[in-house]
A = this chain, B = another copy of it.
Amino acid sequence: MSVSLADLRGRDPQIFTDGCPTRTVLDHVMGKWGILVLLALSDGTQRWGVLRRNVAGISEKMLASTLKTLEADGLVRRTAYPEVPPRVEYALSPLGRDLMQRVLPLMEWVADHAADIVDRSA
């Protein structure tokens, strides 16, 4: 049932080594803001302003650049409506939803154990 690094390396020896695409994806998704944005979006389509409030502490610049990389990665879909004032909505793409299906259980675990972990290291 469980997968190991050795298993993954069995399929592709270069996996998770330096310069490997997996590293790039990891950097995008696991960066400081990537997951938090994806996590917010897993609640459903959201406008820029709402997203900004839901990802507490993010700056406009980082929200913009994070969304751009995630969109380029095909994990997030951006929809702009030709209105005044402008309205732009962000949503997970099918690929993004697929990813979050793997991430959410992890987040749940983190939510459950974070306090313990931080206490220990204090």
Contact = CB atoms under 8 A, between A and B. Distances in A.
A43 to B, nearest CB: 5
The secondary structure that dominates the A interface is: helix
B8 A114 contact: no
Copies of the protein in its oligomer: 2
A106 B17 CA distance: 17
A98 B108 CA distance: 12
Given A106-B102, A114-B25, A121 B72 contact: yes
B114 A21 contact: yes
A4 B43 contact: yes
Interface of A: 2-6, 8, 11-12, 15-22, 24-32, 35-36, 39-40, 42-43, 54, 56-57, 69, 72-75, 95, 98-99, 101-111, 113-118, 120-121
